[in-house]
Amino acid sequence: MSFVQTLRTETAADHDAVDARFGALRLDRTADYLRFLIAHGRALPAVEAALANHGDLPVWRPRAGALAADLAALGRPLPAALPFVLDNEGARWGALYVIEGSRLGGQLLARSLPPAAPSAYLGAVHQRGEWRALLDALERQAAARDDRWRAAALHGARQTFALYRGALGD
């Protein structure tokens, strides 16, 4: 099994838990969409800050600005980011896998928005070949590293899913 497949399998329950929490929101309702954006505003900038300025990662395009723009269009500021630390390279790769994977989900979620809803954040999809290139780079990194690095990547992915789960609150 490839490392990406292992990562997907090992974090499936974490992913499902996040989907269940956010899936209860109806994004065609302004209040629910605002709650969704605020929760993402607590999580995504925290992850992006933890990933910033690390040359060990492939090029990625931050989305916190798009998220802030959508919140501003709805009359809300970007909330304070939750505390989040990624203390090693493997963990950063795991977190990157999660936030870049969320672009795929965002593309699907954007379809449920009303036409007038601000959608810069959910509309920030991968450019052609970008997702595949990230998965290939992750696979190469995992193959070149030891079991500790792979365990750290898995931990970073789980840590990121947990951050999103907690960002929605009760």
Write the single-letter amino acid at 168: L
Q: 104-139, pLDDT tens digit by residue?
A: 999 999 999 999 999 999 999 999 999 999 999 999
47's tokens: 């992850």
pTM for the predicted model, two decimal places: 0.96
Q: 39-86, pLDDT tens digit by residue?
A: 999 999 999 999 998 877 887 899 999 999 999 999 999 999 999 999
CA angle 127/26/63 to nearest 5° reads 30
Cα gap 119→156, rounded to integer Å: 28
121's tokens: 């954040």
Helices (H), the chain: 3-10, 12-23, 30-51, 64-73, 89-110, 130-144, 147-167
Report pLDDT for 40: 98
